[in-house]
């Protein structure tokens, strides 16, 4: 059974048992042979120079992916004046060079930008098409967003043991998605003052150094990664 099938199966079973529980719509991106407005890797063309983020050496940051907000109703509602979100990071050589010069460890700089209709229409990308897939899942599967670790005994002690097991399994498989949009952050050790959670992803989705089992947490202004 694939991760996507498992999420659907577990969510359906849990919601059948506790139909009154709160739900949330989440999304992932999968490879697609069809044209899509969600694109990763490749070359981003047409973006205005003044919008392209730059690193501390004033070099252009690396483009990683663009998602089309129209495929994600919750994001489109939050950002009605924009058509797309684009994620960049400084390249690894610049990152390593900066640490060599300062002698201090730092997280790889990254930047999120939003494109309005005018800027979006200027852009084209020759990259990998990604299809958005949605799921309705119980919000309780994310646990307490203010706690680092998921603990179903702490968060829902009243539930029967078999149901707790299903929620634990659902929590785990959601966390294992290479990219997940919506819901709450999972395994967030410290939110570093960020607000407006959008998504999280790992190195299976984006090729950048995030350390040991690292995860990138993306917020409205920027993102940061954490690892073991």
Query: Per-block average pLDDT, block size 10, for the chain (228 residues)?
Result: 94 95 96 86 91 87 94 95 93 67 69 94 90 96 77 84 93 94 80 78 80 79 70
pLDDT at 41: 85
61, 111 Cβ separation under 8 angstroms: yes
CA 205 vs. chain centroid, Å, equals 9
- Give the Cα separation of 200 and 120 in Å (integer): 23
pLDDT at 38: 92
Residues forming beta bridges with residue 223, ordered by sequence position: 218
pLDDT at 5: 97
- Give the Cα separation of 123 and 45 in Å (integer): 5
Q: Which domains does the chain have, with CATH numbers?
A: 3-226 (2.30.320)
pLDDT at 217: 87
- Give the Cα separation of 180 and 48 in Å (integer): 28
Burial class (CB in 10 A: 0-12, 13-18, 19+), 61: buried
């Amino acid at each position: 059974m694939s991760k996507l099938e498992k999420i659907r199966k577990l969510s359906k079973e849990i919601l059948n048992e506790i139909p009154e529980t709160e739900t949330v719509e989440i999304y992932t991106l999968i490879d697609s042979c069809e044209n899509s407005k969600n694109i990763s890797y490749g070359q981003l063309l047409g973006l205005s120079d003044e919008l392209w983020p730059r690193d501390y050496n004033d070099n252009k940051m690396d483009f990683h992916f663009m998602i089309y907000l129209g495929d994600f109703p919750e994001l489109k509602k939050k950002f009605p004046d924009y058509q797309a979100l684009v994620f960049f990071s400084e390249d690894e050589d610049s990152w390593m060079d900066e640490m060599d010069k300062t002698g201090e460890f730092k997280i790889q700089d990254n930047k999120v930008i939003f494109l309005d209709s005018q800027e979006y229409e200027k852009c084209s990308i020759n990259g990998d098409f990604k299809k958005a897939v949605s799921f309705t899942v119980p919000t309780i599967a994310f646990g307490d967003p203010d706690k680092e670790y998921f603990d179903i005994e702490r968060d829902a002690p009243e539930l029967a043991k078999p149901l707790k097991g299903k929620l634990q399994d659902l929590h785990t498989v959601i966390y294992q998605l290479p990219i997940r949009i919506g819901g709450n952050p999972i395994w967030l050790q410290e939110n570093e003052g960020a607000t407006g959670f959008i998504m999280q992803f790992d190195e299976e989705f984006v090729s950048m150094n995030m350390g040991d089992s690292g995860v990138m947490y993306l917020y409205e202004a920027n993102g940061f990664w954490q690892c073991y």
